[in-house]
Structure 1
Amino acid sequence: MHTPATLVRGGTSKCWLFQQVHVPADRDALEQLLVAAYGSADPVEPAGVGGATPTTSKAAVVAASPEPGVDVDYLFAQVGIGTGNVEWTSNCGNCATGVALYAVAKGLVPITGDRTRVVMRNTNTGAVLEGWVDTTGSVVHEFGDQTVPGTRAGGVAVGLAFRDPAGRTTGALLPTGLPAQDVRPGGAGPVRVSMVDAGAPVALVDAASAGHTGAEPLDAMTGLVPWLRSVRHACATELGLSTPGAEPGDAVPKVGLVGPPVAYTSTLGDPVPADAYDVSVRMLSMNAPHPAVGLTSAVAIAAAALVEGSVVERHARPDRSGRLRIGTPAGVVEVRCEDVRDGLPGRVTVQRAARLIADALIYVPTPPPAPALALPSPPRGH
């Protein structure tokens, strides 16, 4: 059996996009199809379309949205590597960047001059995003020269905005009511953590409280993965995302280290002086160091910078314009908070790049169930 799909590059991620009419409506059946198509049960995914890294083992199911004011809905899937399962609990801003370009290229949204707006709803979380796709000359572009930290490859420029991102999963920007608190991961000594829900739930560790800098190179971060997972699992319980004794997941909360700016060299070999950015961040992507920073994490980090007493606010250089320059392994990612009211951002924006790579028929080793008629509804309250 085979399933039509389109491979897109969004930012520093690659994502296979499926139209809803070509995949099952039932979540379990859809998971079975993705696991088989990606070869997810194998840690190197040689017999499937998975890329064997968290940033290249992603998928989304896209459909025209029935919601007034929304152009497309998309269901995001983080396909496990060597696990044979799929995480459905989060969102991916890089994939949303690709969805925006895809929606224009496939005619789901009509072109409107030199820039075309695409309003997207992530049905995992209910988050609403806007993509502004470069359609200069009123045409869809196959290639572009917009770059992002982490790769020198250019793409079509896509501006991405997260609307009212605070509390989409837990109901509050600060789900525990505290800007920062001590957590004892795995029964070890306490570390200072800010738990923030904006874009996605995140647990941001004050690196100094754990004897780190927040500017560690990727090889050093690899050695910290088991400990950071224990931080994630402890914070998941605090956030109500898991119950004590339950098998913890590894999608949310996103977890990482935060520290002050220091000079370092990016993974592309570029020197990054301390005065070129505002705060150091090193995040995990599932169970591996993120090569840059996930956009949903970047949104949460930017929102945390607005909160007095958070670990981000403690270390970040102040910028009254709402701009936050995040130092990541790949380089500096700039995020902006706009329309801030009562400490909550009305929009968080970032400039990205996307590219359509291929339209394909994916040969799936197990027969896929019947095609879907509709995407699952967003969670209640969103």
Structure 2
Amino acid sequence: MSQTGIPYIFMRGGTSRGPYFRRDNLPEDRETLAEVLIAALGSGHDLNIDGIGGGAAVTTKVAMLSRSDDDWADVDYYFAQVSVEEKLVDFKPTCGNILSGVGPAAIEMGLVTPGDDETEIRILAVNTGARVVARVNTPGGKLSYDGGVEIAGVPGSSAPVQLTFMGVVGSATGEFLPTGTLRDEIHGVEVTCMDVAMPVVLARASDFGLTGYETVVELDDNRAFFERMEAVRLQAGENMGMGDVTKSVTPKFAILAPSRDGGTIAARYFMPWKTHPSMAVTGAQCIASCALTPGTVADGMLDRPSESPAEVVLEHASGAIEVLVDFSSNGDFTLNAAGLVRTARKLADGKVYVPRSVWAGVEVDA
């Protein structure tokens, strides 16, 4: 037996996709775990030809689930971002799109017993400490993926997965504004460095000579922009107390522009070395918070809602995403919770195989 088989469920969560594992079916130590995920996804090749990755950052994501020991949570969700072209795994961030599939996957794995009609699942995102309540359709006590909800970036429709995020302020740095100010100037670009669900460096598209309405292809082809953006991101990472972020996918980067299709504000989001084809759920919460906070780089781009909760509609490269923000504004903006509706679908299940030279922890049938 030259290979190790690891049980998994292959799922689309929101606008991302990847394998969902039970944490106890994987190695405990992080170094071996990283090697297993690199082998399973085929990291190190632009097509991930020797693994089940899809050749894009949104299709090389991994969810690892377990029953939670936390008094509040039902399920622990441990996330890993596996690189496409480099043999790297980043365990620092979380992913809200992949989180969309955690509730259904937990039921599929037997970690949660479905209720009648709808099942509420309390999820602890262990990478960041965020607490998320997912509501999943379970008519007659059975999980259903069928429904009429459509989300931008995904063809067709599926059952809704309602997500409510709590405890996401300062998720990575411990601070809403990690640099201590609403605006900083880095390499001649004015930015807002904010940490809500995901640490993000936000700038005006116009400051890079962009409209903010460019397509994904147009942005990815603009290497001069990426070089300038990365220089700003690296310095921002240091300013935010995150150290050397050269090989880390955080902080992420976003550019903003006034809306043009009836939304609240237009945004393009970066992962960070490629343009996101749509919008990250975690990034959307940070961008929405930036839009609602007076004094940020979003000033002048929108008419800010004054009453809470407020629906913030972010126009992105594939359409739009709505974030329902519960906030307080007594002088300073305070985020209480953010809600989004996503969808998820089970695509396959079985075992994914890695060489036993990488890990020999599971008995398999040859």
Deviation at 1:203, TM superposition (A): 0.3
Q: How does 1:27-106 map to 2 (within 5 A)?
A: 27-106=30-109
Q: Give the alignment partner of residue 291 of structure 1, picking from 277, 283, 305.
A: 277
SS in 1 for 2:80: strand
Q: Does structure 1 retain, via aligned residues, the 8 Å contact 2:265–2:291? A: no
Q: Give the alignment partner of residue 254 of structure 1, picking from 242, 249, 252.
A: 252
The answer to whether the aligner puts 1:191 opposite 2:189 as a matched pair is yes
Q: Give the alignment partner of residue 318 of structure 2, picking from 330, 333, 336.
A: 330
Q: How does 1:218-297 map to 2 (within 5 A)?
A: 218-222=216-220, 223=222, 224-243=225-244, 248-262=246-260, 273=261, 276-297=262-283
TM-score, scaled relative to structure 2: 0.92
Deviation at 1:230, TM superposition (A): 2.0
Q: CA RMSD in A?
A: 1.7
Deviation at 1:116, TM superposition (A): 1.1
Whichever residue aligns with residue 205 of structure 2, its letter is A
- Corresponding residue number in structure 2 for 1:344: 334
Moved more, 287-296 or 318-327: 318-327
Deviation at 1:214, TM superposition (A): 1.8
Q: Does structure 2 retain, via aligned residues, the 8 Å contact 1:214–1:280? A: yes
TM-score, scaled relative to structure 1: 0.88
SS in 2 for 1:173: coil
1-side partners of 2:303 and 2:139: how far apart?
Answer: 36
- Corresponding residue number in structure 2 for 1:162: 165
SS in 1 for 2:155: strand
Equivalent residue pairs, number:
352
Deviation at 1:313, TM superposition (A): 4.2
The answer to whether the aligner puts 1:109 opposite 2:112 as a matched pair is yes
Q: Deviations over 1:51-104 (max 9, x none)?
A: 110000111111000000101111111111120110111010011111111112
1-side partners of 2:229 and 2:111: how far apart?
Answer: 40
SS in 2 for 1:229: helix
Task: Mark the runs of 5 or more structure 1 residues left unpaired by the alignment.
Answer: 185-189, 263-272, 373-382
Moved more, 323-332 or 35-44: 35-44
Q: Does structure 1 retain, via aligned residues, the 8 Å contact 2:183–2:193? A: yes
- Corresponding residue number in structure 2 for 1:364: 354
Q: Does structure 2 retain, via aligned residues, the 8 Å contact 1:182–1:191? A: yes
Q: Deviations over 1:155-192 (max 9, x none)?
A: 221011110311121111111121112111xxxxx111
Whichever residue aligns with residue 265 of structure 2, its letter is V
Q: Deviations over 1:300-341 (max 9, x none)?
A: 011112311112343133223411100001101110111536
Whichever residue aligns with residue 195 of structure 1, its letter is C
Q: Deviations over 1:226-271 (max 9, x none)?
A: 332222212111111114xxx6134111102111112xxxxxxxxx
Moved more, 88-97 or 299-308: 299-308
Q: Does structure 1 retain, via aligned residues, the 8 Å contact 2:18–2:53? A: no
Q: Does structure 2 retain, via aligned residues, the 8 Å contact 1:24–1:370? A: no
2-side partners of 1:128 and 1:26: how far apart?
Answer: 24
Moved more, 219-228 or 43-52: 219-228
Identical-residue share of aligned pairs (%): 29
Q: Does structure 2 retain, via aligned residues, the 8 Å contact 1:207–1:259? A: yes
2-side partners of 1:338 and 1:216: how far apart?
Answer: 30
SS in 2 for 1:231: helix
2-side partners of 1:370 and 1:159: how far apart?
Answer: 38
Q: Does structure 2 retain, via aligned residues, the 8 Å contact 1:117–1:132? A: yes
SS in 2 for 1:137: helix
The answer to whether the aligner puts 1:140 opposite 2:149 as a matched pair is no
Q: Does structure 1 retain, via aligned residues, the 8 Å contact 2:129–2:167? A: no
Task: Mark the runs of 5 or more structure 2 residues left unpaired by the alignment.
Answer: none
